[in-house]
Structure 1
Amino acid sequence: MPRIVCICLSHWPVTRLRRAGLAPERGPLAVAAEGAGGLRLVALDPEARALGLNPGEPLGRVRARIGVQLQVYPADPEADRDSLLRLCRWASAYAPLVAPFGPAEAADGLYIDVAGASHLRGGEANLVTDLAARLARATIPARIALADTPGAAFALARHGGTDRIVVPPGGCAEALRGLPVEALRLDPDIAAGLRRLGLRRIEELDALPRGPLARRFGEALLLRLDQALGRRAEPLAPLTEAAKYAAACGFLDPIGRQSDIVRTARDLMAEIAPRLERDGLGACALRLALHRVDGAVRDLDLGLSRPERHPERVAALVSLRLDRLGSALDAGFGFETVALAVTVTGAMPARQMDLGSTIAGDGVGFLADALAQRLGRGLLRLEPWASHLPERADRGRAWVAKEDHGSLPGMGGGQMLALPPLSSGKGDPCVSRSRERGTRIPKGARPAGRAEPPSAPSLPSPDPLLGPRFPAEGGGKARTIASPWPDHLPPRPLVLFPRGEAALDVLATVPEGPPRRFRWRAQIHKVAHAEGPERIAAEWWREPGAERDYYRIECEAGHRLWLYRDGPHAPDRPAAWYVHGLFA
C-alpha cells in the first residue's frame, strides 16, 4: 500500500523571492501577474492576508482599499517551477519517488511516496517531524500530511486543522469526513454547484447516490472522490524515473577536490560502460549528482554530440565542466556521495578498428563536446539558404553530430589531412573557403560534388562542422567530398561582414573596372592584384536594389579583400564601393 506525504507550500512565490534575497523579510508582500482586467494578486504572505487580501483580487482595487504600503513583485512562473524542482530533488533523500504538484492541485507543493522508507527515519511520525523541522530551518512555510492516497494527503495538508497530520493506514475515510468539498481538487464551477445544493462536506457528498451526481456534475466528481478515498488508484508522475544505467559511490571521508571528483566520475563510467556495450548503446547525456554533507545536491548535466561510453573521455568532459564552474561549485564541507546516471542513450554498435588506430569518435565530435562544456553553450553551424545575396546565403542552426563525425576510417585520431600545394601562378593567391566557415580549400581543388576518376576511392560524407576534407593523393591531386553548399560559385571570403563597409576615395583605371586605390577604416590601400567582376543581381522580389560587381583584390600590404561596386557608374553619380569580406 502506498503511503503518501503531501507538502503543500504556502505562498511559494513569496518564499522564493525572500530566499533568493530579492524581497525584504518583513512587511506585507504580494506577487502579481497579468490577468483578466489587468494585474491580479497570485500570492500573499501572512501579513498581506492579515489585511484582508485574497489571491485573485485586482491590484488596482487593492491599492485603493488598503491604507498601508503593499510591496508588489512581478510573478515569475519559470523561476518558481525551477526552485520547486530543486526542492523535489532535495526531498528525494527521504524516498526515491517524488512528484511535484500538477495542474489539478492549483497550488505549489510535492508528493513523496515513503512506503518502505519511513523506517529509515524512525517511523512515519518521526519522518514528518524531521521533514517539517528541515523546512522550517530553511524558512520554507509548509503544511504536511501523510495518508494512503495523494488525494487524501492533499486534502488534509491544504484544508486540515493543523500543519502536520499523520493518518494511520486505512483511516482516510474517517479523516476526510469533515473536510469541505473543495479539498477534493474539484473544478471551481463544480464546487460552487455543490454548495448551491447544500453539499458542503465530503461526508455529505459520499452519502448520495452516485448516478445522479454523475449525470449532474460529470465523471470527474466521482473520480476525485474515489481517488481520495482509495477506491481508485492514482499513480504519481515521478520527477525522474530511476536510471537504467547508473552508478554511485559513497565516501566515509567527504571529497572536495576537482581531481577526486573527476577520478570518481571516470570510475563510475567504467562501471556503467560494460552494460552500455552489452546493449549496443552509448551515452548521449549524463547527469553527475554531487551530494554534499549538509544535504544539498549539485547536479551537473553533460550533453554529448554523439553516443559515448569511454571513461577517459567522459572524465575529460567532467573536468572541463568543473573548470568552468570554478568556485561556484561550492563543495562546502565536502561531497559524501557522487552518482553518475545516463539520462539519454543512443545506438553505438561495435566497430572494427585498424591496428594502431585510436578510439572511434576522435575529432570534431569530441571537440564540440569539449567546447560546449568549457564555454557553457551549444555550438552553431552554418547551412545554405536560398538567396543570391552573400549576406543572406547562409544561416546559423544548432550543430548536431552525425554518424560520420570524427576521424575518417583508417586514420589515427591525431593524424592531419594533407592539402595539395597552392598554385604558384599569378592567379588569385587567396585561399578560399567552402560555405562552411573555417574550411580552407585550395583554389585548384576539384569543386565539391563532381565526379571523381574511376581510380579514386570513395570517402564518407563531409563533416557538417568543418565541411569537405582533402587528403593528399599522388601527383598533388586532391579529392573532394559532396557538400550541400553550391559548387558553382567563385571563392568566398573566410570572414563575411553582415553588411558592406564603405570604401571611400576610390580610384579606378576605368569607371567600370576594378579599384586601384581606396580608403577603408581610415587607411589607404593600394591594389596589387584584382580578379573579377562577379555580378550578383538584386533580389527584386524582396526589395529593389542595384546590381553588385564583386572583385577579389590583394593589397600591396598583403590584405586580401572582397569589394563590390553598388550599381553602375554614372558621370553625375559615382558608384559607391563597399568591403564585404576578408580572405586573409
Structure 2
Amino acid sequence: MKKIVYFLQWYDYSLKMRTKQEQIKSGRRLLYLWFPYLSIERHKRIENKKREKHNNLSGMIIVQDQTGRRVVVASCSLASQIGVMLGRSLEDALAVCPNLSIFEIDLIADQMTIEALADWCGRYTPLVAVDRENTVIGDAGIWLDITGCAHLFGGEVALLNDIIKRLTEMSWTAFGAISDTPGSAWAVAHCNKGVSQVIAPGEQQAALSELPLSALRLPTDTVDDLSKVGLRKISELISVPRAPLRARFGKNVRLRLNQALGIEKESVSPQTLHSPYLARLVLTDPVSTSESIKQIFSHLLSQVIEMLVMRSLGIRQLRLNLYKIDGRIQDLKIRTSQVSQNSAIVLRLFSEKIDNCLLDTGVDVVTLEATETDVIQHKQVYLNNESETLQLRLPELIDSLTNRFGVSSVTLHSLKESYCPERSETKWNAVSNLEIPRTSGKVQRPLDCFLAVRPLRLVDTPERLDSILLCKRGRPKNFGWRHNNIQIRRVNGPERISPEWWCMENYHLTRDYFRVEDIHGCRYWLFKEFLKKNSETSHWYLHGFFA
C-alpha cells in the first residue's frame, strides 16, 4: 500500500474535494484525442504479431469497394509523402508506388478498437465517449471530460503529456487538445499540425481565430460555399452577423460556431454510465501480484461500503477493473444473492477470482464500482433458533457456488398450482431471489398425495419413443428408447391428466401416464397422447425418471 499515490473517487466526489470558488473558476474542461491513423495502425499491430519485424518502408494503404472500383480511403504518412492521394483508385496508387501494403477496410474492427481505447481512457476519468459524428474513414476520436480530475495527475499539461506518452508506447499516434468546449478541443486537435495543446479557460476565440472553417465540423459543401464569398478562416466568420449567416447558409454554421466559442452548450454522452459508488486507485509503480491486488481491493471496498452505509444501501453486484500498462483491462465481477454490507464475505468471493486472473503485466490503475445496489433491510435473529441461523449461512453458500460456476448453474425450484407436469414447477436463478413462494394449505394437501407418484426428474422436453409393444389391455410391455430395447416388469396406470380448462386450447393433448419398471429396477414415467380423432395414430413419450 506504500505505492498508492492518491485515491480518486467518482467524478462528482472529486469536485467536492475542491472549494466552491475553485469549482466556479475551473468550469468544464474537455480533452479530445484524435487518432489520425487508427485503421492503418490497427493493421500494423496485426502484422507485427505475425512477424517479428514489419517492413513498412513502402507505405500502407486501405482500400474500399465503391461502385465497382477499389478506392484508397486511408493511408499512412509515408504513403502520403510518396504521393498516394485519398479518393484515387488502387491502380493509380500502385502506379505511384508498386510496393504498397494493401489492406481492406473493416469498419466493425475499427469501431471495436476505438471503443477498447475509450475503455482504456477510463483510467483518467469515468466520463469517456467515442466521437460518433466522425465521418472520415480510417481515423477516430475520443472525448474525455476531465473536469475536477486534472489536478490529481499534476495538472492539465501533465495529464495530456501522460496520456499521449502512454498511447505512443502502445504504438498509437494520437494528438490531443484541452479546452472549455468540445468544438474548440476538436478543432485544435485536428488543425494544430500534430501538436497537442492546452487552451486556457475562456481563450477559445483566440485559439480558433486562425484555423480554417473545416475545423468547425462543417460539411465540405458548406465550407466550399463559404469560401466562395471570401470566408476562409474562423476569425472572418466571427465578424459576420449571425442573422444573414443563418439565412444564407443555414443554422448549422451558426450552431457550430457558437458551440465552439461556448455561446451554446454541446453535450457529450459518456460511453458507459457508471454508478455513483465508484472508487479509484492510481499507483506510482505497477503491481503484478495477487496479494497486492487484494490489498488494494480491500482498501477500495472499505471506501465503497462507507458510501453505501451513508445511504442505507447494500451491494448486489461489484465490478473490479484492473488497468494494465500494456493497454489491456482485466474485468472481474461478483454478484450476491442478498443485499450485503459485509466486507469479509465480498472479499472472500473476490479472492478466488483475483487468484485465477492472469497478471502477466503490471497494473497501475484499479477501479471498484458497485454496479447494482439495493436498500438493505436488517432482520432480527433469535439466538436459540437454529433454523434461522442456518438460513443466514445459505446466501453465503449460494454466492460462493454462483461466482464459481456461473449464475445459471445454481437454481431454485418451487411448486406451482397446476396439474400439467410442465407447469407444476417454477425455476429461477438462486442469486436473483432466495424467497421461495409457499403454496396455500388447501392446495398443499392434494399436492402431497400427487407428489408420492411423481418422478424425481422430469425431462425438459418429452422424448418420443422409438417403438413400443402393448399387451391386450393397452399397457406397455416393452419399448425402445435411444436405440435401447427396454423390457418392462411392472406397470401401474393409467393416470389421465388433462390441462386446465382456462388454459390455451391444445397446450398439450390429454395424456394417459404409466409408471413402469424394467427388469433392472429402473422406473420410468411414460405417457400416451389421447387423440381426439380416431383416425390418427397415438404416440408414446418418456417424460421422467423415478430412480
| TM-based fold match above 0.5 | yes
TM-superposed deviation, 1:310: 1.1
Q: Which runs of 5+ in 1 are unaligned?
A: 409-435, 437-446, 453-469, 471-476, 481-486
In 1, the alpha carbon distance for the partners of 2:120 and 2:530 equals 64
Aligned partner of 1:87 among 120, 134, 141: 120
Partner of 1:526: 488
SS for the counterpart of 2:348 is helix
- The 2-side partners of 1:551 and 1:200 are apart by 89
What residue number does 1:515 align with? 476
Is the 1:10–1:142 contact (alpha carbons within 8 Å) kept by the matching residues of 2?
Answer: yes
- 540-549 or 372-381: which moved more? 540-549
2:320 is matched with 288
CA spacing shift, 1:28–1:391, aligned 2, 3 Å: farther
Residues 491 and 516, structure 2, Cα contact 8 Å, conserved in 1: yes
Q: Tell whether the 8 Å contact from 2:301 to 2:343 is kept in structure 1 after alignment.
A: yes
Letter of the 1:520 counterpart: W
What is the identity, as a one-letter code, of the residue corresponding to 2:400?
Answer: A
Structure 1 residue aligned with 2:351: 319
1:551 aligns with 2:514: yes
**Where does residue 528 of structure 2 map in the other structure?**
565
AA partner of residue 401 (structure 1): S
Aligned residues with identical type, % of pairs:
26
1:217-296 matches, within 5 Å, as: 217-234=249-266, 236-238=268-270, 244-247=276-279, 256-258=288-290, 261-262=293-294, 265-266=297-298, 268-290=300-322
1:347 aligns with 2:375: yes
CA displacement 1:45-75 (0-9 Å, x = unmatched): 5577664334xx9xxxx56766567321533
Distance 1:489 1:295 in 2: 60
Amino acid at match of 1:500: E
Structure number with the higher helix fraction is 2
8 Å contact 2:282–2:364 — kept in the other structure? yes
Is 2:526 the counterpart of 1:581? no
Shift of 1:205: 2.0
Asked whether the equivalents of residues 498 and 509 of structure 2 are also in contact (C-alpha less than 8 Å), the reply is no
Pair 113,493 (structure 1): closer, same or farther in 2 beyond 3 Å = closer
Map 1:35-434 → 2, pairs under 5 A: 45-46=76-77, 51-54=84-87, 62=89, 67=94, 70-76=102-108, 79-90=112-123, 92=124, 96=125, 98-106=127-135, 108-113=140-145, 125=157, 127-186=159-218, 190-191=222-223, 194-195=226-227, 199-234=231-266, 236-238=268-270, 244-247=276-279, 256-258=288-290, 261-262=293-294, 265-266=297-298, 268-290=300-322, 298-322=330-354, 326=356, 328-330=357-359, 332-333=361-362, 335=363, 338-355=366-383, 357-358=388-389, 362-363=393-394, 365-376=395-406, 378=408, 401-402=432-433, 405=434
Q: State the Cα distance separating 1:492 from its structure 2 match.
A: 5.8
Query: 2:34 maps to which residue?
Result: 8
* Offset of residue 98 of structure 1: 4.5
* 1:282 CA displacement: 0.6
Cα 1:108–1:380, aligned 2, differ >3 Å: closer, same or farther?
farther
Distance in 2 (alpha carbons) for counterparts of 1:281 and 1:387: 38
Judge conservation of contact 1:16–1:83 (CA < 8 Å) in 2.
Answer: no
1:217–1:555 Cα change, 3 Å: farther
The answer to whether the 8 A contact 1:508-1:517 is kept is: yes
Aligned mates of 1:172, 1:263 — CA distance in 2? 44
Q: TM-score under structure 2 normalisation?
A: 0.71
**Counterpart secondary structure, 1:510:** coil
Asked if the contact 1:32/1:75 (under 8 Å) is kept, the reply is no
Paired AA for residue 368 in structure 2? L
Q: Is contact 2:61-2:102 (8 Å) kept?
A: yes
The answer to whether the 8 Å contact 1:284/1:304 transfers is yes
Kindly tell me: are residues 222 and 354 of structure 1, through their superposed partners in 2, closer, same or farther at Cα, counting changes over 3 Å? farther
* Whole-angstrom CA distance in 1 between matches of 2:539 and 2:126: 69
Distance 1:20 1:377 in 2: 35
Q: Structure 1 residues 340-349 or 167-176, which shifts more?
A: 167-176
The 3 A distance-change label for structure 1 pair 9 and 305 is farther
Distance of aligned partners of 1:45 and 1:275 in 2 relative to their CA distance in 1, 3 Å threshold: same
CA gap 1:450/1:242 in 2 versus in 1, 3 angstroms: closer
What residue identity is the alignment partner of 1:518?
Answer: F
Change in 2 beyond 3 A, CA 1:172/1:377:
same
1:451 to 424, 435, 442: 442
Comparing 212-221 with 17-26, which one deviates more in the overlay? 17-26
Instruction: Describe the SS at the equivalent of 2:520.
Output: coil
Per-residue CA deviation, residues 1-32 of structure 1 (Å, 9 max, x unaligned), is: 44543211124344445546698665635376
Give the Cα–Cα distance (whole angstroms) in 1 for the partners of residues 417 and 447 of structure 2. Answer: 27
TM-score by length of 1: 0.67
- 1:154 alignment partner AA: W
Distance 1:41 1:362, change over 3 A: farther
Asked if the contact 1:98/1:110 (under 8 Å) is kept, the reply is no
- Measure, in 1, the Cα distance between the counterparts of 2:455 and 2:228: 76
Kindly provide the CA deviation profile for residues 306-328 of structure 1, in whole angstroms up to 9, marking residues without a partner as x. Answer: 422111221122124335xx2x4
Following TM superposition, by how much is the alpha carbon of 1:200 offset from its aligned partner in structure 2, in angstroms?
3.5
Distance 1:189 1:379 in 2: 58
Partner secondary structure for residue 144 of structure 1 = strand
Structure 1 residues 319 and 520: alpha-carbon distance in aligned structure 2, compared to 1, 3 A threshold: same
Aligned residues: 497
Give 1:110 shift: 2.2
Gaps of 5+ in 2: 1-25
Counterpart-to-counterpart distance in 2, 1:396 and 1:22: 50
* CA–CA distance in structure 2, aligned partners of residues 29 and 262 of structure 1: 46
Q: Which amino acid aligns with 2:405?
A: L
Change (3 A) 1:544 1:272: closer
Q: SS state of the match for residue 349, structure 1?
A: coil
Residue in 1 that maps onto 2:4: none
* Corresponding position of 1:419: none
Tell me: CA distance 1:160–1:261, structure 2 relative to 1, closer, same or farther (3 Å).
closer
Letter in 1 for 2:128: A
Rounded Cα–Cα distance in structure 2 between residues aligned with 1:159 and 1:343: 39
Q: CA RMSD in A?
A: 5.1
Distance 2:215 2:283 in 1: 45
Per-residue deviation, 1:488: 11
Q: Which has the higher contact order (CA 8 A, sep 6+)?
A: 2
Counterpart residue type for residue 552 of structure 1: R
